[in-house]
């Protein structure tokens, strides 16, 4: 008598293994197709060759950054100006960069000699400021990414100096009839007040219960409608005209 089990074909496990192999291959193919995030193009301006080399060396090590030389500076998303102080030569450079619609400007500075120098830098289109003494690699990267993202950066003590200077101008020279609170909606005025207090986009979003995208859109609308250059300029404008 033959045993039925002996004549039965042995079970095969090749199909499950084949399906597993196909799944693994498909997963690898999908992963390989994911694109890397686009890098931020940056041109560095510095009158001192030592400063220039130092900033370039810091940024060159970061994969998020693409350094652009002077010959191709017109294509850079971010222009990073590094100086000891904001003198007439620096102001001229900042004003020239301000008229380039394709780039936004950041300033790495040793010191501001007065509130007026800070105001001139903001009026010249500077979107973000970093003290040179604090310009390590991580802070430089954060500064560049914030600028590329349309945000402004200003250290708290410099913001206080700017507000004090603007307040002085307001008390001494402004016509209070030049603008009224009706120029801003309550939401716009509230967000500008929070910017003036030094809050960033995420902090404003948490405090107002709006999304970060909404905060950015509201502030962008104010800046565009009033024909201003950046958040710091919008704060200065609103304070000078009694809007906040």
- pLDDT tens for the chain, 244 residues long, are 444 444 444 444 444 444 444 443 343 443 444 454 588 999 999 999 999 999 999 999 999 999 998 777 778 999 999 999 888 888 889 989 988 888 999 999 998 766 667 778 888 889 899 989 999 999 999 999 999 998 888 877 676 666 665 555 555 454 443 444 446 778 888 898 899 888 999 999 999 989 998 899 889 888 888 888 888 888 888 887 777 7
176 sits in which H/E element: none
pLDDT at 185: 79
Length of the chain: 244
pLDDT at 144: 94
Cα 96 to the center of its chain, rounded Å:
20
pTM above 0.85, yes or no: no
pLDDT at 138: 94
pLDDT at 37: 58
67 sits in which H/E element: strand 65-67
Alpha-carbon span 17 to 167, nearest angstrom: 74
Three-class DSSP category at 172: helix
Alpha-carbon span 234 to 126, nearest angstrom: 12
pLDDT at 29: 40
Alpha-carbon span 58 to 138, nearest angstrom: 9
Alpha-carbon span 244 to 239, nearest angstrom: 6
Query: Which pLDDT tens digit goes with each residue over 53-88?
Result: 999 999 999 999 999 987 777 789 999 999 998 888
Alpha-carbon span 183 to 167, nearest angstrom: 19
pLDDT at 161: 64
Q: Which two tokens stand for residue 17?
A: 């293994």
In the DSSP assignment, the letter for residue 48 is: S
Alpha-carbon span 52 to 44, nearest angstrom: 7
What is the full DSSP assignment across 75-138? Answer: G-SEEEEEESS--HHHHHHHHHHHT-TT-EEEEEES--SSHHHHHHHHHTTEEEEEEGGG--HH
Alpha-carbon span 96 to 227, nearest angstrom: 18
Alpha-carbon span 155 to 31, nearest angstrom: 40
pLDDT at 162: 65
Cα 42 to the center of its chain, rounded Å:
12
State the helix-helix crossing angle for 231-240 and 212-225, rounded to 10 degrees. Answer: 60
Query: Which pLDDT tens digit goes with each residue over 147-177?
Result: 999 888 887 767 666 666 555 555 545 444 3
Q: Which two tokens stand for residue 10?
A: 């042995």
The separation between the first and the last C-alpha atoms of the chain, rounded to the nearest angstrom, is 101
Alpha-carbon span 190 to 209, nearest angstrom: 12
């Amino acid at each position: 008598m033959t045993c039925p089990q002996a004549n039965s074909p042995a079970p095969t496990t090749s199909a499950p293994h084949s399906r597993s192999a196909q799944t693994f291959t498909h997963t690898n193919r999908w992963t390989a197709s994911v694109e890397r995030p686009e890098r931020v193009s940056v041109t560095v301006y510095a009158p001192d060759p030592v400063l220039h080399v130092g900033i370039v060396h810091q940024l060159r090590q970061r994969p998020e950054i693409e350094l652009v030389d002077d010959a191709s500076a017109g294509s850079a998303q971010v222009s990073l100006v590094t100086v000891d102080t904001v003198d007439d030569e620096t102001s001229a450079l900042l004003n020239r960069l301000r008229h380039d619609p394709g780039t936004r400007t950041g300033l790495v500075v040793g010191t501001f000699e007065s509130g007026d120098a800070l105001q001139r830098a903001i009026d010249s289109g500077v979107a973000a400021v970093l003290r040179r003494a604090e310009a390590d690699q991580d802070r430089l990267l954060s500064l560049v990414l914030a600028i590329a993202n349309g945000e402004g950066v200003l250290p708290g003590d410099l913001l206080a100096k700017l507000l004090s200077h603007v307040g002085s101008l307001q008390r001494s020279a402004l016509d209070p009839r030049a603008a009224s609170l009706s120029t801003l909606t309550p939401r716009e005025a509230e967000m500008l007040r929070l910017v003036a207090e030094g809050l960033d986009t995420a902090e404003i979003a948490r405090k107002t219960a709006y999304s970060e995208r909404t905060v950015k859109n509201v502030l962008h609308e104010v800046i565009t409608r009033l024909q201003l250059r950046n958040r710091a300029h919008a704060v200065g404008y609103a304070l000078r005209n009694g809007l906040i």
